[in-house]
Amino acid sequence: MSEAVKRTLPSWYVASFADGQTHLADPAPAGLVAPRCDRTPFRPIAALTGIPLDPAQICSSCLSAGVGQFREA
């Protein structure tokens, strides 16, 4: 997969280390990400390469929005 394609796919991004603050988001201009929930765009402190390991950290709205991403093909 090309780098250009990877930059357009949604990924999990950490907004803070508090519970519920890891969001499924799309890349946005100026180093921000646009989460799938109703949260405003933010500058992530980390980008995850897979599914978050701690379920408590996942935003429940983003999880619902991205549930199809986890189904096996």
Position 21 in a domain: yes
What is the pTM (predicted TM-score) of this model?
0.75
Helical (H) or strand (E) element with 12: strand 11-14
Domain range for 34 is: 3-63
Residue 64 is encoded by which pair of tokens?
Answer: 């619902």
Distance (Å, rounded) from C-alpha 63 to C-alpha 19? 13
Position 69 in a domain: no
For the chain (73 residues), the mean pLDDT of every run of 10, in chain order, is 54 95 93 91 93 91 71 41
Position 72 in a domain: no
Q: Could you give the number of structural domains in the chain? A: 1
Distance (Å, rounded) from C-alpha 52 to C-alpha 19? 12
Position 34 in a domain: yes
Residue 48 is encoded by which pair of tokens?
Answer: 């995850």
| pLDDT computed for residue 69 by the predictor | 55
| pLDDT computed for residue 68 by the predictor | 52
| pLDDT computed for residue 72 by the predictor | 41
Position 70 in a domain: no
